[in-house]
A and B are shown apart, each in its own frame.
Chain A
């Protein structure tokens, strides 16, 4: 049998094939690293170290796009000096279009720069801060499902003057994996954060409930007060309270703390404690609000409280009312519904203020409906708010119903069906039962 002729393969060709096989192996290793951990910082360092080795480069870095500031911020930088990442993280950010990374981010196109000195887009800021000298680089945009994530750069090939087109393709293939990894890690981090927040809000909601009166019904003499409070998932900081400040008087308090979440719940707890302390043995709604206003003026972050405080004589039906920036209340009397926008002051905790007191008198069968803004700011699926006028109209149509408050709540729930409740809903009803 004749021998097969020997195939002569040029050595260069073989080396090229070997290099490509090595690169494919590296890509697979990167893929394995990516699926092995969701620890964002660890992952970025591992992947970029691998990228630096594969590309046989002196340094590499990742800048992440901050959607709030619309700037690129250094996340990882790997080179000889370990301190480089810290320096870059603290001192260097790039705007869109600024420097080569900024250009790549803005145009969403990769770039191979053979000589940075000859490229007017190059920003020397990072080099100045770190003492590193950039000669040549590849910059690739990291793009995920939700758009720009950041920019990856690889700097200074060790054994040649500049990167080749093949290097560019290889780095792009790596960066596609990096983009997926960052997105997955961010999603993982966000889902942990969401769960932590949900648990905190649950505690805040329980805390808020624990500070409300044990029973939602309060009866003293001819006054009957009842309340409905439905807490939003995000906890809106609504307050109500019933007390007997002095013998023969019933005190009814409703309020709404600015903001939402844990801070609103904690602040609500502080306010209700302050209110109970201040209102005890004080027969003046204005004095109570003035004192509360002084205490709350030290509130952090501009937090404030809108409130109504009513003191009712349980024998005569005479009322004294002070209002601090709270929505009007409704007075059902003589077969009509009156919107009571009485002289009042701004919310508590903002400015030094003397709150006015308004006097009125209830007759047999009269009802007052007090509410917080969560009632009329409820949104439907189309994004429309139900509005104060709508609530007033509903109350007018059903003013004689015994279960009026419950009906208003159902009306609001129907309107915002399918929507997460954005704010607490609180309604307090004061009924005068004497003839």
Chain B
């Protein structure tokens, strides 16, 4: 998994690629928590290049979401590939996370 944090109109975008699994999610967690500890109001997670996510990866975002909700921040996922979207739909996680097609929709809504 590769993690890149870029700026989009003043918001932090975490651009991910590769597999988010039990091996890579601790690294992702560290990066997310650094941002959440700073109480960033908006965090966008770009999934376009993610090839696989397992339950450890999802738990990392659940922890991030809970952390951001505690201070009124918003965590938004965007560009989720079809195969990964099936996992989100299957497990009703689409009701837990704010999910958008592209960065503009995620930023503006």
Binding site for B on A (CB under 8 A): 68, 234, 256-261, 301-304, 306, 324-328, 344-347, 350-351, 373
Contact = CB atoms under 8 A, between A and B. Distances in A.
Given A259-B22, A261-B22, A302 B91 contact: no
Contact of A350 (B22, B27, B96): B96
Given A234-B22, A259-B55, A351-B96, A326 B91 contact: yes
Nearest to B66: A302
Given A68-B27, A261-B22, A302-B66, A344 B92 contact: yes
A304 B56 contact: no
Interface SS of chain B: helix
A324 B92 CA distance: 8
- Nearest 5 Cβ contacts at the A-B interface: A302-B63, A302-B62, A258-B55, A325-B91, A302-B59
A258 B58 contact: yes
A399 B92 CA distance: 28
Contacts of B56: 258-260
A327 B27 contact: no
Interface in B75-92: 90-92
A168 to B, nearest CB: 36
A346 B88 CA distance: 10
Contacts of B93: 325, 346-347
A226 B41 CA distance: 49
Interface of B: 22, 27, 29, 55-56, 58-66, 90-93, 95-96
Contacts of B61: 302
Nearest to A301: B63
B91 to A, nearest CB: 4
Contacts of A351: 96
A327 B90 contact: yes
A346 B55 contact: no
Contacts of A259: 22, 55-56, 59
Contact of A303 (B29, B59, B65): B59
Q: Which of A257, A261, A301, A351 has the most CB of B within 10 A?
A: A301
Contact of A346 (B64, B66, B92): B92
Given A256-B55, A301-B60, 4 more contacts: A302-B61, A304-B58, A306-B91, A325-B91
A301 B93 CA distance: 17
A88 B29 CA distance: 26
A347 B91 contact: yes
Nearest to B58: A258
Contacts of B96: 346, 350-351
Contacts of A260: 22, 56
Contacts of B90: 325, 327-328
Nearest to A343: B92
B62 A350 contact: yes
Nearest to B92: A346
28 contacts: A257-B55, A258-B55, A258-B56, A258-B58, A259-B22, A259-B55, A259-B56, A259-B59, A260-B22, A260-B56, A301-B29, A301-B59, A301-B63, A302-B58, A302-B60, A302-B65, A304-B58, A304-B62, A306-B91, A326-B91, A327-B91, A328-B90, A345-B95, A346-B95, A350-B65, A350-B66, A350-B96, A373-B55
A346 B27 contact: no
Contacts of B60: 301-302
A274 B65 CA distance: 25
Nearest to B83: A385
A345 B96 CA distance: 10
B63 A346 contact: no
Contacts of B66: 302, 350
Q: Which of A234, A261, A303 has the most CB of B within 10 A?
A: A303
A345 B95 CA distance: 8
A261 to B, nearest CB: 7
B21 to A, nearest CB: 9
Contacts of B22: 234, 259-261
A29 to B, nearest CB: 40
B59 A304 contact: yes
A347 to B, nearest CB: 6
